[in-house]
Structure 1
Amino acid sequence: MYEYVIRVTNSSKEPYCVTEILARLKRTPRNQSYLVKCSPPGALSDDLLKELFMQWPKHIIGLHLNSWLSPNPRNTDIDRLEMFCKWLPSNLRLLDASYTLKELPSPEVQQRFVKALPKSLEYLSIKGNGLGRHMRAAHIKNLVKTLHVSHALDLRENNFHHAEEIAGLQALSGLPAKITVLGIDTHPMLMNSIPSQVRRLGLPTFCLSPTCKPKPIIPATVSYLEFSGYLFKEMTLEHLPSYITSLSLERCNLGILTNQDIIKLVASIPKTVTWVSLRANRLFTKRTVSERDRLLESLAPFNTDGRLQLDDNGEEEWIRAALPLINGIEQQRVPNWDCAYQIATYLGAHSLTLFKKLAQRKRMFTSIAETIPLINGSQ
């Protein structure tokens, strides 16, 4: 889920008034899904927050909860959290409530926290809240029954490996029936009870490590697999089941690997996976121009039909990430004008600068490349 950061203080670190913050919020993109994040975190008083949420813009449906809470010991006060949740805008559909419970919570606090969350959510992340501590598997089953979410739920990093397991208990059987996107840790108690309606599954990268045993068994109903955490050179993806057709390795810090290790990892992905996202891995940072070019050249054999998503990867990626789209032209997957228009729309760049560089790299006719219109005009 993308984040949109809103600055709520001036250069003297004094909070803006509610009117100014609302003006900034109203300038955020419309008809897009993102989580609004407060910067700096917890900079607003409770009174300011209450007033702000009462006037919250209708087009903003996503919120990063923890960034709006003031960073003080009272965050662990469940009474205060319940009060704060009552103030949340009624139009919220996307909520990131990760790492909100600062200390290891009791089962009672966990239940109160979950019950306090909005009731009309489509996406909810409650990562890193220690929900598996001090709990039996039966408590976890009752906890997930309390959730009000209709599409996507992230339960990762919740210490579920500490929970006392009961043989045969389906810990996730109480999940809302409409949830098709699920993020969990690889505890057998969870992996063995994934509901059949789940199509997209998020797992920690640790399960790819040689030291992770037993390996999780991914249900055959899942076609989209997403990993979170660092990917290291000893990890491999060659054992992915054939029914996985989409794979997300976004923000897995692949940029720290050598070119050789990156290629080795990508080469291990089975050909049955037809779409791979490598976004936001800083693949092109801290590399020389020749190193970046060699990396792109080495990735090309694995990028047939635009299989690899390489944008948002660091220095000059706005030029380099355009090349896979141009490859789409060569493979007759995307019409010339549509492809160039998509690139220009996404980048919002100077037309002459962008297309001259692309023309030079791909030996396109510069006179043609310079005539592609930009939706946002030149900047």
Structure 2
Amino acid sequence: MTLPLSGMMTAAMINAELGRASNAPFSLNDPAVRALAEKPSGKIMFSDFYGKANELVVKVTSATQYNTLIKSFFTPDDWASDKAKRLIISGVDFGNMSGAAALAVTDAASGQAGSFDGKLTLEIEAGAFISGSGGKWSVASAGNGGIALHANFKGKNGNNLQLINKGIIRGGGGSGGQGGKGGGGAYAQNVTVREPTEGDLRGNGYGWTWVNNFSRVIISWGGQELLRWDNQSFSTTFYDINGARYYRGTPDGGVSGTSFFKIYRTFEQIQNVYTDGGTGGAGGTGQGFNLASGAGALGDAGGTNAGRGGNGGHGGAWGISGANGDAGINGNNGNGLAGSLSGLGGAAIGGITNVDIIDNSGLIIGRQE
């Protein structure tokens, strides 16, 4: 702990700060004593020890950080030494927008062997924040809120991170879920049907026969003779029979006095036309570092008589899951689908078993897991 800024200063207090017994032998010329006073040589007095601490202190006071490791603020030698280390977050919002933890102890690649030695303290002053990233909807998938502080490793000797929180540690909010697809629709429509759909037919009971000598036309369809009329003009190219129109097609040979033609027909028919339901709206973003929570997008309108897609769910506040997407609206040919689940709220502190909370006079918003 830091020595007082004024008042009485004793050898016992200095010994205690150095981790020694209070009644241990003491000399102002002891190298460790001089190092604590930051007086490697020359005149040294008890007043030189005011406000001194036997730990390495790094204070972050300005630049916003992203995906940062506590390890990165200390030299490799200091990180590996048994000297006490303290990182102070002061007056800034310390976070990231990428989904990774805003602040972690060390990188997983270095593993336990690369973790800290000695006492490690993280101090968040009043007015400072560690903020997880907000969950975002992406490629039809809900985004979870990001972790604020990830104590991903203990120290080399199993020692925990010491946490003094007088500010705010807050996990990111989860994104909203996507709205469900609207139900399908259908409507009746009068359409012209052609048989066959392209080309024409001849043989197997299909054909148009013209007997020139007698001006006679014979129309057969599917083995049934539909028409045999005499004294018909050769210029006539179609006949309406029983609600269908039969057309003389391409010539297809003949015999003496008789010509054969291919045939096709059209008729009107009422058919159902099917339409798709509207697509559900994307989920809104969760609240996070430099990101406000947002409303989900509106679902798209469906086709004729189809249902509109459901609206996307609202993004969650700090540390809170978003809202699920709304169900799609039913159409006259199908029911709308349920909306998708939202993203989870991010943890304020991950790896809580690797943390000793010394002071929590501030706020922790979100899970501790």
TM-score band w.r.t. shorter chain: under 0.3
Larger radius of gyration: 2
Which structure would you say has the larger RCO, counting Cα contacts within 8 Å and 6 or more residues apart? Answer: 2
State the TM-score, normalized to the length of structure 1.
Answer: 0.25
Structure with more strand by fraction: 2
